[in-house]
Amino acid sequence: MKDAMTIQQIRVCLQDGTYSDEMLSSWQEDHRAGVQKLMETHRRKVEKEKELRERYNQMSSFENDSYEQGKRYIAGIDEAGRGPLAGPVVAAAVILPKDGYIAGLNDSKQLSELKREALYDQIIDTCIAFGVGIVDSQRIDEVNIYQAAKQAMLEAVAAMECQPDHVLVDAMPLAELACTHESLIKGDQRSVSIAAASIIAKVTRDRLMKEADIQYPGYGFKDNMGYGTKQHLEALHKQGITPLHRMSFAPVKELSRV
């Protein structure tokens, strides 16, 4: 045992990935409690990474089907902000590389803010192209939220440097596109491209609402993102309607009549 690695040395090797199968085998047979604790942590980490990889592969099935049909650039599209009382609706379109991998990619609603921010940077760094479309509250009132969300999606595609030849979109038919498209119910949970778009859209909109919180304090925009929380509703009654509010949405609509 005099030549055995110290527990700290083993920890560093496991953290850095600088180990061989032979070294792992020897550590598994090492009876020191500290080494066994490290190995258990390592086993859980490997299992988690395996689960994430398997989920990513499962969520790549629609993209892989499109590649098999001869498509080259497949964009996922999603939006954020249909339900809030204030702020824009934001859509994003993302083309991921065919053989890429982003661990933990999932529907933005299933992720913490910290994880979304980290994945946002990874997506921007690794994607082939992305685009964002933003439609403000005035336009939402003019055409309704469904049409505004569709407009934001089309603008997101138009903003891409590389245009897609196929689009996967979350629960919205987009016949206006020049390329083929497929509308998927709960697509942000079933497609890596749509999940990536959901994260870009969500993070972009959240950042806009945090800026709005500075411009219009008291409504809690940095926390509620424009949704009708108790604080937001109380501020509406106390401070009134801002230019960011959607006049066609209740209870803003009712307040405007008072």
Length of the chain: 258
Three-state DSSP state, 46: helix
Give, in order, the Cα–Cα distances in Å from 194 to each of 158, 168, 170, 186, 197. 17, 7, 7, 9, 5
What's the pLDDT at 256? Answer: 77
Which domains, from first to last, does the chain contain? Answer: 7-58 (no CATH), 61-205 (3.30.420.10), 211-256 (no CATH)
What's the pLDDT at 1? Answer: 46
What's the pLDDT at 2? Answer: 47
- Is 21 assigned a ligand-binding role in the annotation? no
Please, what are the averages of pLDDT over each run of 10 residues along the chain (258 residues)? 79 92 92 94 92 95 97 98 98 96 92 96 97 98 98 98 97 94 95 97 98 98 97 96 96 83
What's the pLDDT at 4? Answer: 79
- Is 125 assigned a ligand-binding role in the annotation? no
What's the pLDDT at 107? Answer: 87
Question: 93, 164 in Cβ contact below 8 A?
Answer: yes
**E strands, 43-193, in order:** 74-80, 89-95, 129-135, 166-170, 180-184
What's the pLDDT at 27? Answer: 93
- Is 78 assigned a ligand-binding role in the annotation? yes
The pairs formed by 249-256 with CB atoms below 8 angstroms and a separation of 24 or more are 249/85, 251/85, 252/85, 252/86
- Phi–psi pair at 34, nearest 5 degrees: -65, -40
